[in-house]
Structure 1
């Protein structure tokens, strides 16, 4: 019996040893550390959940000690991940960070451990992207640890004022500042532009009056890359650059900055409040702007409750069905929400479904001061003229 250990004993592993949380400071809306009692409460819940993982008849309470500390740590990480999913669900987040699987059977020795693995099929395309991104980021982090990235930042080009560029464009033209998207493909539309030269497209956007550029970096679903982002920055494009990536880990923010990004995207449908607070703090430390994207009233209310938010994007696309309705922008900016946004001087960016001057006028009247547009201009043979057609006038310098 010395070769076996109680599964419950794994809950004694220090909560601070969990690698997924070890480097994550905990912020409140004021930026201060969370009380120690909160950490202890989370740790206690993890212990309880570990104990509840036993089978009803107690047959799965023992596991082989072969590498007890390593096994215990992996099980603890799994338990913490489950707790994180519970917190996200309590905030209305339906996108699961990873498939709902448990520890591999290897970690429970000779005893069969009853895993509840139903629902391992993504519920929509966003969840599928996030699951794929979780694996991708884990692999990238192994190749380039955070310590290496931090050293790379010493040689990164300086961050430029993304928000300032949008404000300046809005004042100059009297129209929403344009974030023009360098985008080759999307899951819903397929390839948007066959002869895709990211630097050439970026230059055409800048010539047409874009205030900033958004560069898709996801490879599997959007055929983008960080190489495109780096190439555009290295080509001397003056427009500040938004790294359009599915951020699920702070490592990605450092990586984007090392490639020349001036801003990053945070999606409220994916990230719990604590992650958004933590990641916006990192952005400020690195000089990056954070565009926090919302899709519905609950997400908007969550984001408005976080101090320090300066830039909110309203995506008119339903992330489950991919249907687009630009009236979503107006709905989210009516009443008290709109008043709070004005009081906090937050710039709102309209996203998706914008193809005509009438569309731009509609969202501007609703209260946006910037728009993020990709499909309607990147598909044009001359993206510069595409911008003029989108706004109904020449907005170039």
Structure 2
């Protein structure tokens, strides 16, 4: 089976070069520097204080399962997530593989969604951090499997310099060493990004290898409230869930029902 992550990252490098031609870095940096006010909503703080810790994800499709909802509106679903108890929201901005775009972030802010928003993409260049800041995300996802430690360290520093929090995603025992780079949150992805097979046991297996004081996030393959309860007992405070909600007729109502079962 082809490694899906390698394919996505190779495409992302080409995509970023196109972005740079359309909007040179100097102009992007100028636009970001002209943004008034900071990003005061902290995803990590919200997760620490939340009773559910659900990061509700907006995505229209996945590479492994195709379209969930091609015409889904983030203005509608994102607002419904907020009204139904989401602690934070994740927005897939990759177009080719996940059907998202930067317009989704713009639409979310136009809908006056006040949740902290995670800019979820495959970040391999600091240019993308400036894009995240320009489109008013609060947090960015960095994926250990895509980056060397030095690259990751530099991107974390740049993100913090731009006022962005960092959720650093890991999948293997070796990648948990990246936690020493001091991101704001550490995520354990239950989905193998090479094969897209999910196994929640990955969070169980790796939880004890993360620093005690870090905000721990379990990502992907979560659909059972009892699993979330169990993971909370292991120290996880965030639970990134998208497919379970986006495949339902009313994602916000599905979120509300899920949270009710956590009580």
TM-score, normalised with respect to structure 2:
0.94
The CA deviation at 1:359 is 1.9
Distance between the aligned counterparts of 2:88 and 2:127, measured in 1?
24
* 2:237 equivalent among 363, 366, 369: 369
Distance between the aligned counterparts of 2:25 and 2:37, measured in 1?
18
Structure 1, residues 109-136: CA drift from partner, whole Å, max 9, x if none?
xxxxxxxxxxxxx941111111111101
1:355 aligned onto 2:223:
yes
Give the 3 Å change call, closer, same or farther, for CA 384–157 of structure 1 in structure 2: farther
Give the 3 Å change call, closer, same or farther, for CA 158–234 of structure 1 in structure 2: farther
* 1:196 equivalent among 53, 72, 76: 72
Q: Which residues of 2 match residues 294-313 of structure 1 at below 5 A?
A: 294-301=170-177, 303-306=178-181, 308-313=182-187
**Residue number in structure 2 paired with 1:142:** 21
**Residue number in structure 1 paired with 2:38:** 158
CA contact 2:85–2:259 (8 Å) conserved in 1: no
Q: Which residues of 2 match residues 102-251 of structure 1 at below 5 A?
A: 123-153=2-32, 154-155=34-35, 158-159=38-39, 160-169=41-50, 173=51, 175=52, 177-251=53-127
Give the 3 Å change call, closer, same or farther, for CA 347–279 of structure 1 in structure 2: same
Distance between the aligned counterparts of 1:148 and 1:231, measured in 2?
23
The CA deviation at 1:209 is 0.6
Distance between the aligned counterparts of 2:113 and 2:28, measured in 1?
24
The CA deviation at 1:156 is 6.0
Structure 1, residues 179-201: CA drift from partner, whole Å, max 9, x if none?
11011000111111244011100
CA contact 1:348–1:367 (8 Å) conserved in 2: yes
CA contact 1:208–1:387 (8 Å) conserved in 2: yes
CA contact 2:226–2:262 (8 Å) conserved in 1: no
Unmatched runs of 5 consecutive residues or more in structure 1: 1-121
SS at match of 2:261: coil
Count of residue correspondences = 261
The CA deviation at 1:379 is 1.8
**Structure 1 segments of 4+ aligned residues over 4 angstroms from their partners:** none
Distance between the aligned counterparts of 2:224 and 2:258, measured in 1?
5
Q: CA RMSD in A?
A: 1.7
Distance between the aligned counterparts of 1:316 and 1:183, measured in 2?
17
Distance between the aligned counterparts of 1:235 and 1:244, measured in 2?
19
TM-score, normalised with respect to structure 1:
0.63
CA contact 2:218–2:240 (8 Å) conserved in 1: yes
